[in-house]
Amino acid sequence: MTSTDDVRRLGAVDWFIFVGMLILSASTGVYHALAKGGQQNLSQYLIGDRSMSALPIAMSYFVTYTSATAITGYPADVYLFGMQLGVIYIGYILGTVVVMFLFIPFIRQFNFISIYEVSLVE
């Protein structure tokens, strides 16, 4: 157990980076919601009119694996136990590349909205 004297508080630079990240994230969302009139129909909203390449789709899969809990917890884990988690991220990156070049092009040819539709095909 640590005493309260060991607790560190966020400094001005920490708050600047944190607030800047929130502003950048919010402004990106607002920009894309308003650019070119936003989404006009359900197809644009759900699948982006199928105009996206495999890279942003694969990055979306990668970000799904990396949750906010992982982002906040991994630095402490690495500090305490070392870089074993680096091996996990090597696997994530390799898996993302496989998904980007093999699975996404294969699945896109069927015009599915969701991967769950694959099980409905007979």
What is the residue extent of each domain of the chain? 4-120
Query: What percent of the chain is predicted at pLDDT more than 70?
Result: 84
Residue 108 has pLDDT above 70, yes or no: yes
- The torsion angle over the Cα atoms of residues 29, 95, 43 and 41, rounded to 10 degrees, is -10
pTM above 0.85, yes or no: no
Residue 5 has pLDDT above 70, yes or no: no
Please report, for residues 43, 59, 91, 96, the alpha-carbon distance to residue 64 in angstroms, rounded to integers and kept in the order given. 22, 8, 14, 11
